[in-house]
Structure 1
Amino acid sequence: MTVETAAVVAAGVTKRFGATTALSEVSMRIAPGETHALVGRNGAGKSTLVSLLTGLHKPDAGEIRFGGEPAPPVADRGAWRARVACVFQRSTIIPTLTVAENLFLNRQGTVIRWPALRRRAAALLDEYAVDVDPRSLAGDLGVEQRQLVEIARALSQGARFIILDEPTARLDATAIERLFARLTSLSEAGVTMLFISHHLQEVYSVCDTVTVLRDARRVLTAPVASISHDELVAAMTGEAAGLTSTAPRQFQAAASVLRLDGLALADAFEPLTLEVGAGEIVGVTGSGSSGKVSLAETVGGLRKATAGTVSVDGSAVRPGVPNALKAGIGLVPQDRHREGLIPLLSVAENATLPIADRLGPLGAVVPSRRTGVAEEFIRRYDIRTESPDAPVASLSGGNAQKVVLARALAAEPKVLVLINPTAGVDVRSKESLLGAVRAAADAGTGVLMVSDELDDLRHCDRVLVMFHGRVTAELPAGWSDTDVVAAVEGIAA
């Protein structure tokens, strides 16, 4: 392929931020209509490359080209929007506006004719087979619908190159299948895509070519069909595959530490009774409508049950996060950005929030004591940060998630509740996170882990499958992928 015929080219691009080289002489070419995967560990340079491909930053060396033409000046945002769009892991849809308003934001003209705007929006949604009412508030849409609206908006502006950043991180299996079918249709229609994912099986399912970044450099570009899973992991990590141990745990039945008695939440899940033993890891999975996330959020105090009780060590827990914390429940929520971190605070401040009253006399925090505790957490959970005082917003996704887990475990909880703990993190971060969960369980913490990831669930002593608000299957350790998938889909294995 020549530069002139490529849809997108990054030619020897380098980007520095102060003394840090975020990207070093990286080259990549993407053919028209190709779905090209970009993979690498957190901190490898993926986000920096995306910032160059979308015109948010200008490379310090090298160049970006679209269809053989140099990229427009960074200041010409209209020209960039006509060439490339990015569907980020965190939606850019404005929830308080309607779908129609989001589709034509900043393009609606000086005088807005609402009936005409809604008709244009309906035609656009119909053109790209997005089954959404243009009059709906965007905040009422599901994750999958928001992504499709963003894709339709990008295509309507003329962009034929779309970057998808972890598009499946918050989708269930059925929604992922629908998204992949839509991506295949777009590719057949000539849309070029860059697909960023930590889920390597997705790369094999939907991508033609894969580029691997490691330590700010490109280490591999190859057709997906020509490279094995182990070779791809080795390229990402610089080491042999087989990172996270999933050897069966030597769990012995112990006294119940968490008990749910007839716990229910209207329109989410039906009355459920469950015990989790001290040191036991119980997995919960199911489709997006199964009620699994609502169950975990109810146990963790984020939601108030409409019936039943949550008990820890035989004592009922009142609703609310403060009461859950006081009872000994640690929570890793689904959305680390919205519910798990305070971005304006430092790594140390975030990690030690639950134990701030222990870091000095009379509830006052002694900075040196907080720093010492945070440094221990940084070592224990392998958090890659410049210092405990660095803003938590400066961390990569995997390291930010480690801070969330460190905070959940800071008070040595009796029960740990996790919701999709490895979503959107790299291979090594998954190893660190799941290793810390196993260590907590080995020390006697009861674990309730909700996850869509089979690799997460392999660490569990048993797995409950929920379907439309009910537990429909309980699988002991040693289950097969087919067993889980069939139960999730509500069919016989």
Structure 2
Amino acid sequence: MNYHVEARNIVKRFGPTVALNGAGIAIAEGETHALVGRNGAGKSTLVSILTGLQRPDEGEVRFAGEPAPALADRDAWRQRVACVYQKSTIIPALTVAENLFLNRQTDRGMIRWRELRARARELLATYEVDVDAEALAGDLGVEQRQLVEIARALSFGARFIILDEPTARLDGPAIDRLFTRMRALREQGVTMMYISHHLDEVYEICQSVTVFRDARHIVTRPVAGLPHDELVSAMTGEATLAYESRTRTAGERVVLAGSGLSLAGRYRDIDVSVRSGEVVGLAGSASSGKVGLAETLVGLRRPDSGTVTVNGTAVRPGDVPAVLRAGLGFVPEDRHHEGFVPLLSVAENATIPIARRLGRFGVVSPARRRAKALQLIEDLQIKTEGPDQPVGDLSGGNAQKVVFARALVDDPSALVVINPTAGVDVKAKQALLGSVEDAVERGAGAMVVSDELDDLRICDRVLVMFHGRIVKDVPRGWTDHELVAVMEGIEQ
């Protein structure tokens, strides 16, 4: 078989940590090949080696049978491989055209802007990306930014693209459109490596799948005919990881409420409430207004009208500190920008909300902070070298657990979590969803805002939003078809 990309017997160590231990992957020319595994399995390290950002301690990488270029030859690497990361590398303040040809606007002399825009329009048309070349990149949606990144990658001449969790922030229709573009690229001979924790997507878009576990290659199989349980077992070492939601009875006390909330372009005339001992889901497409509503409840957005009440206290609109003081814990949609400070330690990030109580006279006691962090690390099963490790060094799933730790550290009476398991593995999902249910069993009320049906299964009821309004309150016991039909506006 002609392999477009091969990584053979790769070993990579970071101090005492073995990130890859004799692992490898072989991807046939023109195929879409999935790489799956739990957080910390070695996927990100392999990506850094396949893109020339890291040198393996042992093993080799080959493209079309030829050895990989020297690490210093960045142009040669760009001509062979490109990666579209979960965290966008598009520069918001520049136009689409400027992003597409960043640092190569001209061969010599002054930039010819008209020519640059024409080249950008031609490139976008070639790959059927329906985006205005003169638009500011910051005004694009997540889906459009990803397509621009794919077009930019292909413009270097690379015929191998790595897609790292590309659907983590997309809704159903946007995912369908992305898959349509991926199929078209494959027909044009583009080879892709697809990294995802969503196994249904692996079966839908990929021809082969490779599993990493504990820094090792476990198996490579064709997707067709591969039982779901076998794939899960290869990833986890366990036969199944189905999450079983707990049964509970909601209390009478309302811990979070919004009344008469409206925000132009987002939602209108919203009344919502969450009681103690209750998990309420909030579902809908990307344009439904669900995230905007959740961000209003936690003070990140100021509504045009309406009031928000937390634990019986009416809070000033758009005042995050007031909402937190009233007893609300919050897990934001984008952990990279809003969830943690990468250079600060696990202990520092997790205890930010209670720092004032960890010492005297404005000075935090390192011993008290460390003791609290150790408790949170144990409670949330955070895989870390210790409380002093920077959060930026953790895997995605463990970084998300630190975000949860910060939200839960002050024992909130209300909890709002947005896309809580985006980009984390199946085992981490269990721990994160379990921490929500633990808080609810202690008497809190929780709102889970998610595009993932599995996240919503822990909810006692799901409020479905469509075009800025809550159209249905769906009780526990729904089927996937029933809920999706309401979310897409087919049934209300």
Q: Same fold (TM over 0.5)?
A: yes
Query: C-alpha separation between the residues in 2 aligned to 1:484 and 1:228?
Result: 26
Which of 265, 268, 273 is the matching residue for 2:271? 273
**2-structure distance, mates of 1:280, 1:433:** 17
User: Which shifted more, 426-435 or 225-234?
Assistant: 225-234
Question: Aligned to 1:91, which of 88, 92, 101?
Answer: 88
Where in structure 2 are the equivalents of 1:217-366 lying within 5 Å? 217-247=216-246, 249-318=247-316, 319-366=318-365
Aligned-pair distance for 1:487?
0.8
2:79 equivalent in structure 1: 82
Question: After superposition, what is the alpha-carbon deviation per residue over 1:319-352, rounded to whole angstroms, capped at 9, x for unaligned?
Answer: 3110110111111000111011011211000000
Give the one of 17, 41, 44 matched to 1:20: 17
For residues 444-483 of structure 1, give each alpha carbon's deviation from its aligned partner in whole angstroms, at most 9, with x where no partner exists: 1110110000000000000011111011111100001011
Instruction: Please tell me the residue identity of whatever aligns with 1:34.
Output: E
1:243 and 1:428 in contact (8 A); partners too = no
**In structure 2, what is the equivalent of residue 478 of structure 1?**
477
* Cα distance change of structure 1 residues 326 and 252 upon mapping to structure 2, 3 Å threshold: closer
Paired residue total: 489
Query: Is 1:30 matched up with 2:27?
Result: yes
Moved more, 37-46 or 234-243: 234-243
- Residue 290 of structure 1, CA deviation: 0.5
Q: How does 1:53-92 map to 2 (within 5 A)?
A: 53-92=50-89
Specify the SS of the correspondent of 2:3.
coil
In structure 2, how many angstroms separate the alpha carbons of the residues matched to 1:202 and 1:324?
38
What TM-score, normalized to structure 1?
A: 0.98
* Contact 1:294–1:303 (CA under 8 A) maintained in structure 2: yes
Are 2:161 and 2:193, in contact at CA under 8 Å, matched by a contact in 1? yes
Residues 163-221 of structure 1 show CA distances to partners (whole Å, capped at 9, x for unaligned) of: 00000000011100100111111111110000000111110110100000001000010
Q: Using the alignment, how far apart are the partners of 2:394 and 2:55 within structure 1?
A: 22
Percent identity between matched residues is 63
Please state how far the C-alpha of 1:21 moved relative to its aligned partner: 1.4
Distance 1:389 1:156 in 2: 42
Q: Distance in 1 between matches of 2:10 and 2:139?
A: 40
Which secondary structure state, in structure 1, belongs to the residue aligned with residue 288 of structure 2? coil
- Aligned pairs for 1:376-395 within 5 A: 376-395=375-394
Write the letter of the residue equivalent to 2:257: R
Name the CA distance, whole Å, in 1 between partners of 2:24 and 2:354.
47
Q: How many Å apart are 1:252 and its aligned residue?
A: 3.5
Counterpart position of 1:183: 182
Amino acid across the alignment from 1:26:
A
In 2, distance between residues paired with 1:166 and 1:251? 36
- Aligned-residue offset at 1:258: 1.5
After TM superposition, list the pairs within 5 Å mapping 1:191-206 onto structure 2. 191-206=190-205
**TM-superposition CA deviations, 1:39-95 (whole Å, max 9, x none):** 001110000100111011111111111111111111100000000000000111111
CA RMSD between the two structures: 1.1
TM-superposition CA deviations, 1:290-326 (whole Å, max 9, x none): 0000011111111111110011233211131101101
Aligned to 1:41: 38
C-alpha displacement of 1:253: 4.4
Q: Distance in 2 between matches of 1:265 and 1:418?
A: 20
Deviation at 1:243, TM superposition (A): 4.2
SS in 2 for 1:226: coil
SS of the aligned residue for 2:406 comes to helix
Distance 2:122 2:62 in 1: 32
Structure 2 residue 438 is the aligned partner of structure 1 residue 439:
yes
SS of residue paired to 2:337 = helix
Correspondence 1:370 to 2:369? yes
In structure 2, runs of 5+ residues without a counterpart are: none
CA contact (8 A) 2:241 2:427 kept: no
What is the identity, as a one-letter code, of the residue corresponding to 1:27?
G
Q: Distance in 2 between matches of 1:255 and 1:47?
A: 45
Pairing 1:51–2:48 present: yes
In the TM superposition, what is the alpha-carbon distance from 1:364 to its structure 2 partner? 2.2
Q: Is the 8 Å Cα contact of residues 171 and 288 (structure 1) preserved in structure 2? A: yes
Residue type matched to 1:389 in 2? D
Which secondary structure state, in structure 2, belongs to the residue aligned with residue 386 of structure 1?
coil
- Please tell me the residue identity of whatever aligns with 2:287: S
> In the alignment, does 2:137 pair up with 1:138?
yes
- Report if the CA contact (8 A) 2:245-2:458 is conserved: yes
SS of residue in 2 equivalent to 1:431: helix
Aligned letter for 2:312? G
Give the Cα separation in 2 of the matches to 1:200 and 1:51: 23
**Match of 1:401, SS?**
helix
Corresponding residue for residue 422 of structure 2: 423
How far apart are residue 255 of structure 1 and its match? Answer: 2.1
The question of whether the paired residues in 2 share the 8 Å contact of 1:251 and 1:461 is answered with no
CA distance in 1, matches of 2:381, 2:433: 12
Q: Is the 8 A contact 1:331 1:408 kept in 2?
A: yes
Q: Is the 8 Å Cα contact of residues 310 and 323 (structure 2) preserved in structure 1?
A: no
- Partner of 2:169, secondary structure, is coil
Counterpart code for 1:36: H
| 8 Å contact kept, 1:64–1:71 | yes
Counterpart of 2:206 in structure 1 is 207
TM-score (norm 2): 0.98
Deviations 1:96-120 (A, max 9, x none): 1110011111211232100010001
Confirm whether residue 400 of structure 1 aligns to residue 399 of structure 2. Answer: yes
What is the SS of the residue equivalent to 2:60? strand
Give the distance between the partners of 1:350 and 1:365, measured in 2 at CA. 13
1:279, distance to aligned residue in structure 2 (A): 1.1
What is the letter of the counterpart of residue 63 of structure 1? Answer: E
- Give the whole-Å Cα distance in 2 for the aligned partners of 1:401 and 1:212: 22
How far is 1:244 from its partner? 2.3
Selected match of 2:101 from 100, 104, 128: 104
**Mind listing any 5+ residue stretches in structure 1 that lack a counterpart?**
none
Q: Which runs of 4+ in 1 moved over 4 A?
A: none
In the other structure, the counterpart of 1:156 is: 155
Any residues of structure 2 matched to 1:113-132 within 5 Å, and which?
A: 113-132=112-131
Counterpart in the other structure of 1:174? 173
Secondary structure (helix, strand or coil) at the match of 2:423 reads coil
Shift of 1:225: 1.4
